[in-house]
Structure 1
Amino acid sequence: MKLLGMACGGMYLAACNPNDPDEPQPGPDVVATTPYTLTLPANLPQNVQVPANNSLTQEGVQLGRMLFYEPLLSRTGTQSCGTCHQQSKAFTDGRARALGVDGAEHPRNTMSLANVLWEKTLNWDGAATSLEQQARLPIENPLEMHQSLAEGVRKLQQTERYPPLFRKAFGSASITEDNVLKALAQFERTLISANSRFDKYIRKEGSLTPTERAGAALFNNHPGENGLFIRGGACHHCHISENGLFNSDSFFNNGLDVSFTDLGRAAVTKQAADRGKFRAPSLRNIALTAPYMHDGRFQTLEQVLDHYNEHVRTTSPGVDPNVLLSNTPGGTRLDLTATEKRQLLAFLHTLTDSTFITDKRFSDPFKE
């Protein structure tokens, strides 16, 4: 129900003089929005931060969902956020590098939007520190949607559909850039994935095979830990499993290159020590998000494991020491066996959340 927030209304209209500076002037309505109940899975962190000026509402989330799939936000009217973030692929696009509205290829791979509610920095280089800030970047990037947000707002304002929806969500039918970004961020905060076979195993609702459990142990074991000869992949250093997110807030050089065509984090910090460092993305739904790495150079998870096991560029400046560990005393490679690689792959496949990629709350509303 909408509550009137204007002094001039109904039978009092004649008493209001719009030229009198002491009279209240018309402004945004005060609207009664409905809080959106965000259910946090018990095995994921509970300390989430939502901006005080953009609390989640049912009206805002629904508007954000529509804007996420709205091609009017692109220059040609042919792409939306959902073009590169497809639900069936855990909100990635299946391409090595994203393709923009003008046919130009982005230098980086599309990142998944699953569980971005918990992310403190966004994009491969951490250039954005909030979802509201991040949402503007692909809209205005010439290699992506290639349109000023102001122009997108103008197009939305001319439709019959959006002004009433903005009024319900934000109290005004006059659409603003800030409210477009807020609505998109609200929707993206609801994209929670935590119902994989691994999650059910943690909740004691299901089991893993011996091969999958062996892979989980390898994932979390550090070769030579505590002076003991323990075989492992040390994956958890960059993809933290203890918090259930399988990602990290830090940036890493994982030994892909000796010289860097993409500076990574250094392009943001301007620090030479950050050259070639990128975020460690979440491994949730990793079987659905190929190709891999910031530039999509690896087509399969097998190739990813081969890189860490056999092809790390040990002379890469600033390479992370954890990718230089070996299961062979004095070795220079990780040296997992073929069986151990199969075990790790089996475990990674348990992180696929099939309910997340079919949840109608996240789907394209224009195709319902």
Structure 2
Amino acid sequence: MKKILFIFLGTLALFGCSNNEDEYVKIPTSITLTNPSNFPKIAYDLSKNPLTEEGIALGKELFYEGKLSSSNIVSCGFCHVQASAFTHHGHTVSHGVDSSVGFRNAQPIQNLAYFNEFNWDGSAIHLDLHPIIPITSDFEMGETIPSVLAKLSADVKYTQLFEEAFGDQEINSERMLKALSQFMITMISASSKYDKVVRNEENTAFTESETAGLKTFENKCASCHSGALFTDKSYRNNGIPFNSKFPQEEGRKRVSGFADDFYKFKVPSLRNVEISFPYMHDGRFRTLEAVLDFYTDGMTENGGIVDASLRKIDGSLGIDLSAEEKTNLIAFLKTLTDNTFLNDKRFAEF
């Protein structure tokens, strides 16, 4: 199996002399991220934030740091748990500081290096900017960036880590966000059974049910969930009934302001979908069976423009799937589970 490898390009070197000629600062160790052969090109501009061993280490520390929230408890890792593909497992919608409840389901954190827009509505257009939204959200981390920086600056551990990552002890928002990005960029999920089959690795092959499920997927699902990332990155209205519990929800319209974008949401990647439940933007479905039942029998006119690809010839909504097709489709979707990624100690808190 061809694994994701971090190739160390640099070696520890010395630069800059302090007033004491016996004291030196180490240059951060540069690394390169090898792109899986079946994946598209990395979208993130690494030339503006080169990966280093120390930058990634700092980013990991920040990802699991409660000081990024007003409670000093809720970290990024609080809502993004590795065992469930970095989703908020067990919660329909995310819970934050002071037991506050949001109105959207936490999305998985995986393969973010291949995207330019983030969140269900695309409200973040750069990975470096993405953490600002949960950090400052009243119902997520409820903090301000200046307050976070003050707390980090008062912690000797972080003055040392920032110095190791960036060459001096200055702690600012740009460095904090770039370190978080460096860590998240390395979180690539590309070692599922599906990947091994398409790359002809380890004599791996699909079962009869998985093969049948792949055929159904290609015929009835791949127009939206396309490519190696299993998403075309578009925003679509899939006919999900409007949720009156969250009247403020407008989907993509909340960002674009266009009426036609009402209740459009980003087509999610299906990688690790077996364990990233609950599903949909509001987490209303707990099983893959329930999701497929929705697409055959539950779609409705919801006040927006339902995607044309989900309309039948007679104009009605839905995808025709037999019980056997559903069973085989779920069997195929389970081949997208990447246990190597889910258990990778590089991403674990401890």
Decide: shared fold, TM above 0.5.
yes
- Map 1:344-363 onto structure 2 (within 5 A): 344-363=329-348
With the length of structure 2 as denominator, give the TM-score of the two structures.
0.90
Deviation at 1:50, TM superposition (A): 2.1
Of the candidates 61, 67, 72, which is equivalent to residue 67 of structure 2? 72
In structure 1, give the amino acid aligned to 2:135. Answer: I
Counterpart position of 1:299: 286
C-alpha change, 1:335 and 1:42, in structure 2 (3 Å) is same
Partners in 1 of 2:302 and 2:71 — Cα distance? 45
In structure 2, give the amino acid aligned to 1:215. Answer: G
C-alpha change, 1:126 and 1:333, in structure 2 (3 Å) is closer
Of the candidates 297, 312, 324, which is equivalent to residue 311 of structure 2? 324
Task: For residues 237-265 of structure 1, give each alpha carbon's deviation from its aligned partner in whole angstroms, at most 9, with x where no partner exists.
Answer: 1111xx31001221000000268831111
Of the candidates 222, 225, 244, which is equivalent to residue 239 of structure 1? 225
Q: Which moved more, 1:267-276 or 1:334-343?
A: 334-343
Partners in 2 of 1:331 and 1:294 — Cα distance? 23
Secondary structure of residue in 2 paired with 1:37 = strand
Partners in 2 of 1:333 and 1:122 — Cα distance? 27
Are 1:147 and 2:143 matched, yes or no?
yes
Q: Runs of 5+ in structure 1 lacking a partner?
A: 12-28, 222-233
Deviation at 1:4, TM superposition (A): 4.5
Task: For residues 317-345 of structure 1, give each alpha carbon's deviation from its aligned partner in whole angstroms, at most 9, with x where no partner exists.
Answer: 3100111237xx88754231111110111
RMSD, aligned CA: 2.0
Counterpart position of 1:264: 251
Secondary structure of residue in 2 paired with 1:355 = helix
In structure 2, give the amino acid aligned to 1:80. Answer: S
* Aligned length, in residue pairs: 331
Are 1:192 and 2:188 matched, yes or no?
yes
Partners in 2 of 1:331 and 1:4 — Cα distance? 68
Deviation at 1:79, TM superposition (A): 1.2
Asked if 1 retains the 8 angstrom alpha-carbon contact of 2:35 and 2:42, the reply is no
Secondary structure of residue in 2 paired with 1:133 = coil
Partners in 2 of 1:331 and 1:150 — Cα distance? 52
Counterpart position of 1:251: 235
Counterpart position of 2:217: 219
Asked if 1 retains the 8 angstrom alpha-carbon contact of 2:225 and 2:267, the reply is yes
Q: Runs of 5+ in structure 2 lacking a partner?
A: 1-11
- Map 1:129-140 onto structure 2 (within 5 A): 129-140=125-136
Q: Which moved more, 1:316-325 or 1:113-122?
A: 316-325
Partners in 2 of 1:259 and 1:183 — Cα distance? 37
Counterpart position of 2:320: 335
Counterpart position of 2:83: 88
Partners in 2 of 1:144 and 1:50 — Cα distance? 28
Deviation at 1:168, TM superposition (A): 1.1
Are 1:203 and 2:188 matched, yes or no?
no
Secondary structure of residue in 1 paired with 2:290 = helix
Task: For residues 212-236 of structure 1, give each alpha carbon's deviation from its aligned partner in whole angstroms, at most 9, with x where no partner exists.
Answer: 1111110111xxxxxxxxxxxx211
Are 1:44 and 2:43 matched, yes or no?
no
Counterpart position of 1:54: 49
C-alpha change, 1:315 and 1:78, in structure 2 (3 Å) is closer
C-alpha change, 1:356 and 1:202, in structure 2 (3 Å) is same
With the length of structure 1 as denominator, give the TM-score of the two structures.
0.85
Asked if 2 retains the 8 angstrom alpha-carbon contact of 1:61 and 1:187, the reply is yes
Counterpart position of 2:264: 277
Partners in 1 of 2:339 and 2:125 — Cα distance? 29
In structure 2, give the amino acid aligned to 1:238. Answer: C
Over the matched positions of the two proteins, sequence identity in percent amounts to: 41
Asked if 1 retains the 8 angstrom alpha-carbon contact of 2:236 and 2:307, the reply is yes
